[in-house]
A = this chain, B = another copy of it.
């Protein structure tokens, strides 16, 4: 085998191992008996150690050296370019640290699960402390000359983004959103719907089926925190969760569908290469937010959702359902936050994790800092840590630098939606009939097929014709506040 073949074969192996790792996580959160957790941590540790060893092996450097200046086709040029970038970053992380990160992540998730159920932050603090220390050590391995550990962590989720850029964008949101929130508070008090779980299950299953979710290549399950896993383009698994007092399942299942569709529509030629997956967390989140905010929360699509709830035995007028789905009300929980206040939840997390990693905030002080932040940014009082700093799994899993992508996803989704409509015309008639083929096709062509070949910033440019902007998102939320 020549150097290119060897490199591509290693990339295929790493893609396979990534799928295996994803299955281990999916199983842990969906099907594993709880007492399997200790064993699963060992298994994930072994896999992470091996993967890290294979991804950082010296022979990759040899192959890359041989390929220096070689004449390659366009696809292989990108394979080599990304292989070089990933290898150089990964080489900076010691094998043992990589394995320890994986072990602590699994243990931290279990600790978080228990602590959250019993509203006991103290029970989680040691695991969080450990995750934080490891993340800091990891960030320090990756930091560029003069850059912070936190900025280095960001690079794992959104290569090429800078914390300065985040400060600018989040600053603009922090300035523009509060007046809209105040306006919404007066004009459009949030409504709730008491849709029985059975009706929601029927509506979720039927709507996803109409969007192309078949049993041959998809699974839909329930887990504590909704997520998506993909073990290849024909094995995609989304989860949701159900509560009697809300219709969050409708939004969350469309949200996860957006993640899944992205991975399924990557160019098949990129499969089992290092390019064959979503390019970044913020682009991924833009895909889930596009389906959540611009499809599920679209007035026209409420016709579809209301009909499916009706088929499940819960009658509701589409307009009433829509009002409920877009109602604005500052609240405690990020994942069920309305589209207007949502980014403020992210601003809080960004500030706190920046301070945690930077060493300016101690773990013990997190609950208080959380309460202060929620009061300041959203004007709400936090009654318990379970509804406060214990609500998200991310820090328990050792993910720092991940949260910002959620807000960036909202912005990019709005920008893509405007670009799509500028090209395809208004989509309301299609949405009323659940006719989403044009949307799927546009996303495949402009976003999905590229896989990792374009990073966040060039992808936004290619798909929308301009750089990342805050305005499309503000145009999207303005009417929600206007009532």
Contacts and interface: CB of A to CB of B under 8 A. Distances in A.
Interface of A: 12-13, 16-17, 19-20, 23-24, 27, 31-36, 38-40, 42-43, 45-47, 49-50, 54, 215-219, 231-236, 272
B46 A219 contact: no
Contacts of A54: 50
A42 B216 contact: no
25 contacts: A12-B42, A12-B46, A13-B50, A16-B42, A17-B47, A20-B24, A20-B46, A23-B23, A23-B27, A31-B31, A32-B235, A33-B219, A33-B234, A33-B236, A34-B217, A35-B235, A38-B232, A39-B231, A39-B232, A40-B231, A40-B232, A40-B235, A42-B232, A50-B50, A50-B54
A33 B214 CA distance: 9
A234 to B, nearest CB: 4
B20 A218 contact: no
A49 B54 CA distance: 12
Contact of A42 (B46, B236, B272): B272
Q: What is the oligomeric copy number?
A: 2
A49 B233 CA distance: 22
Interface on chain A toward B: helix, strand, loop, or mixed SS?
helix
B36 A217 contact: yes
Contacts of A235: 32-33, 35-36, 39-40
Nearest to A237: B33
B272 A33 contact: no
A234 B38 contact: yes
A54 B53 CA distance: 12
Contacts of A215: 33
Contacts of A16: 42-43, 45-47
Contacts of A42: 12, 16, 232, 272
Contacts of A24: 20, 23
A27 B23 CA distance: 9
A78 to B, nearest CB: 21
A131 to B, nearest CB: 21
A219 B31 contact: yes
A72 to B, nearest CB: 24
A13 B219 contact: no
Contacts of A231: 32, 36, 39-40, 43
A176 to B, nearest CB: 43
Contact of A46 (B17, B27, B217, B234): B17
